[in-house]
């Protein structure tokens, strides 16, 4: 048995099991510790490829100052020891538990359901304490951010850099790989020992070669941050220290964070609520999404052809490589374009370089600049959307997006990885057509109708806004009329549209998301004067919303945070107390969506669920039951708040996700 020692606010011991003879000590540790931190080390992040390039290497258990490491990679006896420990534990803690559960389920055959019922996720607890990212002035949610703040200031950098340092160490380790030599024409060649075992310098000289020399190559090949997880030797001391600290950190973070969760959040049951929703997201990730290979490859070919066409245009202007700043600068200056903005000085470029980013190129009125923008755009679409989907498939042709159940400050979920859902183009199925419902199924989407505005009406109790929703009036027309007068609009004719309805609509949604007249103007293409009138008109037309806004602002100023209706504390910025109402709206609406997901799960809908994006649910329903199930799902997730029904409705397409958006009359 190997024993490693460290010091993090006290002595740390890490016991590394090297043979079955070491297991009794591990069993004794588990029996004495009903609550433990848990973590795994793997060959990468692609858990869906278990048995096909992905596997679990280590499993680690720990308490406040002691950890045990099982070498899962070495055989079934260690897998069984891990399974026993997972079953024996009364409570577990893990940072981002979903990944470890996917790992032990897919790679080791462990049923995750008993584990989710007893495993705290430190990432969830940390968000309930402070949901802000580091760039927002918060602690952050990554382990390397949480550890220095809550445990040990110096350890954060070590956690982040440790695997990088290991990769560098492995790259320094080299071995003699063969001989280099020169032929009669003085050309240098190499022969590898693996190609000619037993080859000697004398053999090469006997063949007429000269200047025979040994050459070395890294023992582990080229090691980088992506492949270091596979290449690092199982018992590398730095790797074991990195691995052994993780369950100790998870244990300590749980003990530290629990008392910091606001009492109101505890009273409202948010810890259990978030862990349950996290389990639903886990199941969605496991379900995966089928990829239409032909459609995806066809789009790749189209984009490659477009890139080739644009490259020909670019090269016609004397630029061989669109990625070369120097070539672009020289060409544009040659055409008389005046460049002024430079990058910061560096050692290589003491005076900086002229910037050639998207913002700069967009401001240049020259066909070369536009061609480069279009070329880069086509390249990004190809690689970020279509190739990513194709290359991320498992052996069954599915992709498994990462769903962060609790991500933004307000708790909003995010979907990343093979399906970057938040960045897909709106209003078109161009990319979404890559993703298919099951064979014999169709895609259905169900979402809430104007949830943020309806919540604002119910939360503020504004009489005019509530009247509009209860009587089916168009709120955007009302806002426009309040700001600009009737202007010929007939309020008694439901088909009539106010001439300034666009300004009213832009204002309604922008105010809900915390924006002012400038945001209305820029985001909705509204003239500044109209934007100012529309925003003023909003507050005058719906006075109770202004009262709510001031109350949220006062709460933010006084406390540095606001509470949502569901008991979630959202920390605010000292200079932006006016965002308080927006946080209350967004945070509560997120929780209304989560409540919908939990209700759907209770009724067995999770097996059909593919994605949750903001307030929209994407399903794969059997074709013959699609209409029935879509109607049921909409009824399940709808919600009454302060007497106002926040309804939901659905749309049914064909097999592809994009078909819902592309069909005639789609609300999307």
Give the contacts of 425 (CB within 8 A, at least 6 positions apart). Answer: 431
With the C-alpha atoms ordered 632, 636, 639, 644, is the resulting torsion angle positive or negative?
A: positive
Least confident of 82-91, 271-280, 478-487: 478-487
- Asked if residue 434 has pLDDT above 80, the reply is yes
Q: Are 504 and 468 in contact (CB under 8 A)?
A: no
Which pLDDT band, with edges at 50, 70 and 90, does 543 fall under?
very high
Query: What stretch of H or E contains 7?
Result: strand 2-7
Evaluate whether 2-162+229-260 and 262-288+400-453+564-668 have a shared fold: no
Taking the C-alpha atoms of residue 294 and residue 302, their distance in angstroms, rounded to an integer, is: 12
- The residue among 159 and 435 whose pLDDT is bigger is 435
Per-residue model confidence (pLDDT) at position 403: 96
Nearest to 456 by CA among 562, 542, 568, 523: 542
- Asked if residue 212 has pLDDT above 70, the reply is yes
Which pLDDT band, with edges at 50, 70 and 90, does 182 fall under?
very high
Taking the C-alpha atoms of residue 505 and residue 269, their distance in angstroms, rounded to an integer, is: 36
Domain 2-162+229-260 has CATH 3.30.420.10: yes
Domain 262-288+400-453+564-668 has CATH 3.30.70.370: yes
Taking the C-alpha atoms of residue 101 and residue 109, their distance in angstroms, rounded to an integer, is: 10
- State the angle between helix axes of 463-470 and 451-460 in degrees (0 to 180), rounded to the nearest 10: 130
Tally of CA atoms within 13 A in the half-sphere of 410 that contains its CB? 23
- The residue among 262 and 350 whose pLDDT is bigger is 262
- Asked if residue 668 has pLDDT above 90, the reply is no
Per-residue model confidence (pLDDT) at position 468: 94
The DSSP string of 531-546 is HHHHHHHHHHHSHHHH
Mean pLDDT of the region 437-465: 97
Taking the C-alpha atoms of residue 166 and residue 375, their distance in angstroms, rounded to an integer, is: 38
Which pLDDT band, with edges at 50, 70 and 90, does 347 fall under?
confident
- Asked if residue 159 has pLDDT above 80, the reply is no
Give the contacts of 514 (CB within 8 A, at least 6 positions apart). Answer: 578, 579, 581, 582, 583
Mean pLDDT of the region 234-250: 96
Per-residue model confidence (pLDDT) at position 160: 62
Tell me what percent of the residues of the chain surpass a pLDDT of 70.
99
Q: Are 339 and 333 in contact (CB under 8 A)?
A: yes
Taking the C-alpha atoms of residue 186 and residue 188, their distance in angstroms, rounded to an integer, is: 6
Tally of CA atoms within 13 A in the half-sphere of 213 that contains its CB? 6
Per-residue model confidence (pLDDT) at position 253: 98
Taking the C-alpha atoms of residue 285 and residue 98, their distance in angstroms, rounded to an integer, is: 9
Domain boundaries, the chain: 2-162+229-260, 174-218, 262-288+400-453+564-668, 293-377, 463-541
- Asked if residue 143 has pLDDT above 90, the reply is yes
Question: Whole-structure pTM over 0.85, yes or no?
Answer: yes
Per-residue model confidence (pLDDT) at position 154: 82
Classify residue 77 as exposed, middle or buried by CB count within 10 Å of its CB (0-12, 13-18, 19+).
middle
Per-residue model confidence (pLDDT) at position 665: 76
Classify residue 228 as exposed, middle or buried by CB count within 10 Å of its CB (0-12, 13-18, 19+).
buried
Which pLDDT band, with edges at 50, 70 and 90, does 255 fall under?
very high
| Percent composition of the chain: helix, strand, coil (DSSP 3-state, to 5) | 50, 20, 30
Least confident of 79-93, 113-127, 511-525, 615-629: 511-525
Nearest to 132 by CA among 560, 460, 481: 560
When computed from its CA atoms, the radius of gyration of the chain, rounded to whole angstroms, is 30
- Structural tokens at position 28: 């004794």
- Structural tokens at position 279: 């389990």
For residue 286, the SS3 value is: helix
Per-residue model confidence (pLDDT) at position 270: 98
Nearest to 217 by CA among 242, 237, 191, 256: 191
DSSP state letter for 24: H
Per-residue model confidence (pLDDT) at position 155: 78
The DSSP string of 553-614 is HHHHHHHSEEE-TTS-EEE--TT-GGGHHHHHHHHHHHHHHHHHHHHHHHTT-GGGEEEEET
Q: Are 266 and 196 in contact (CB under 8 A)?
A: no
Per-residue model confidence (pLDDT) at position 429: 96
Query: 561-574: per-residue pLDDT in tens?
Result: 999 999 999 999 99
* Mean pLDDT estimate for the chain: 95
Taking the C-alpha atoms of residue 524 and residue 518, their distance in angstroms, rounded to an integer, is: 10
The DSSP string of 367-421 is HHHHHHHHHHHHHHIIIIIIIHHHHT--TTSEE--EEESS-STT---EEETT--G
Taking the C-alpha atoms of residue 176 and residue 216, their distance in angstroms, rounded to an integer, is: 4
Mean pLDDT of the region 403-410: 94
- Asked if residue 156 has pLDDT above 80, the reply is no
Mean pLDDT of the region 427-451: 96
Pairing relation of β-strands 91-94 and 119-121?
parallel
Mean pLDDT of the region 428-433: 97
Pairing relation of β-strands 174-182 and 188-192?
antiparallel
Taking the C-alpha atoms of residue 604 and residue 119, their distance in angstroms, rounded to an integer, is: 23
Taking the C-alpha atoms of residue 247 and residue 89, their distance in angstroms, rounded to an integer, is: 14
Other CB atoms within a 10 A radius of the CB of residue 309 amount to 14
Mean pLDDT of the region 569-589: 95
Mean pLDDT of the region 242-249: 96
Nearest to 416 by CA among 438, 400, 395, 432: 400
Per-residue model confidence (pLDDT) at position 514: 81
Which pLDDT band, with edges at 50, 70 and 90, does 652 fall under?
very high
Residues in the chain: 668
């Amino acid at each position: 048995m190997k024993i490693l020692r460290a010091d993090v606010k006290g002595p740390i011991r890490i016991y590394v099991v090297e043979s079955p003879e070491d297991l009794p000590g591990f069993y004794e540790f588990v029996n004495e510790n009903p609550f433990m931190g848990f973590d795994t080390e793997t060959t990468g992040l692609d858990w869906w490829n278990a048995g096909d390039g992905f596997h679990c290497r280590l499993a680690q258990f720990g308490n406040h100052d002691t950890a045990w490491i099982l070498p899962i990679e070495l055989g079934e006896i260690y897998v069984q020891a891990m399974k026993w420990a997972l079953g024996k534990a009364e409570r577990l803690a893990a940072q981002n538990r979903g990944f470890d559960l996917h790992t032990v389920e897919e790679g080791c055959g462990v049923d995750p359901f008993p584990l989710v019922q007893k495993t705290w996720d430190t990432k969830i607890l940390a968000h309930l304490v402070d949901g802000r990212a580091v760039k927002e002035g918060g602690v952050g949610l990554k382990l390397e951010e949480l550890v220095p703040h809550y445990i040990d200031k110096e350890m954060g950098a070590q956690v982040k850099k440790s695997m990088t340092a290991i990769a560098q160490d492995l790259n320094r380790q080299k071995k003699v790989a063969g001989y280099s030599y020169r032929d009669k024409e003085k050309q240098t060649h190499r022969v590898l020992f693996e190609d000619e075992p037993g080859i000697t310098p004398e053999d090469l000289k006997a063949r007429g070669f000269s200047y025979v020399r040994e050459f070395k190559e890294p023992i582990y090949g080229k090691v980088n941050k992506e492949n270091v997880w596979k290449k690092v030797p199982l018992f590398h001391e730095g790797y074991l220290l990195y691995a052994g600290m993780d369950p100790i950190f998870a244990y300590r973070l749980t003990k530290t964070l629990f008392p910091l969760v606001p009492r109101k959040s505890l009273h409202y049951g948010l810890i259990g609520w978030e862990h349950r929703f996290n389990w639903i997201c886990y199941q969605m990730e496991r379900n995966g999404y089928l990829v239409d290979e032909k459609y995806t490859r066809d789009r790749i070919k189209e984009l490659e052809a477009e890139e080739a066409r644009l490259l020909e245009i670019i090269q016609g202007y004397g630029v061989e490589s669109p990625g070369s700043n120097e070539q672009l600068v020289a060409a544009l200056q040659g055409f008389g374009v005046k460049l002024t903005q430079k990058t910061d000085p560096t050692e290589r470029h003491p005076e900086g370089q002229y910037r050639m980013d998207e913002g700069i190129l967009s401001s240049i009125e020259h066909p070369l600049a536009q061609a480069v923008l279009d070329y880069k755009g086509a390249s990004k679409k190809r690689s970020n959307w279509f190739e990513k989907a194709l290359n991320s498939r498992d052996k069954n042709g599915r992709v498994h997006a990462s769903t962060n159940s609790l991500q933004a400050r307000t708790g909003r979920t995010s979907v990343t990885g093979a399906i970057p859902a938040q960045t897909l183009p709106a209003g078109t199925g161009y990319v979404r057509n890559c993703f298919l419902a099951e064979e014999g199924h169709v895609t259905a989407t169900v979402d809430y109708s104007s949830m943020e505005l309806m919540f604002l009406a119910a939360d503020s109790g504004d009489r005019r806004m509530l009247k509009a929703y209860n009587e089916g009036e168009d709120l955007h027309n009302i806002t426009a009329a309040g700001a600009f007068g009737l202007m010929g609009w007939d309020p008694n004719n439901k088909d009539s549209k106010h001439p300034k309805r666009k300004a009213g609509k832009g204002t309604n949604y922008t105010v809900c998301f915390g924006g002012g007249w400038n945001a209305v103007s820029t985001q909705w293409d509204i003239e500044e004067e109209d934007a100012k009138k529309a925003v003023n008109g909003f507050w005058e037309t719906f006075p109770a919303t202004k009262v709510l806004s001031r109350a949220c602002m006062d709460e933010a100023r006084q406390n540095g945070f606001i509470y949502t209706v569901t008991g979630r504390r959202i920390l605010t910025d000292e200079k932006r107390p006016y965002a308080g109402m927006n946080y209350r709206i967004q945070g509560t609406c997120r929780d209304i969506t989560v409540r919908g997901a939990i209700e759907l799960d209770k009724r067995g809908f999770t097996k059909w669920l593919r994605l949750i994006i903001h307030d929209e649910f994407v399903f794969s329903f059997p074709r013959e039951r699609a209409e029935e199930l879509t109607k049921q799902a909409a009824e399940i997730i709808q919600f009454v708040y302060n007497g106002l029904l926040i309804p939901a409705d659905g749309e049914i397409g064909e097999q592809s996700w994009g078909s819902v958006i592309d069909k005639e009359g789609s609300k999307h």
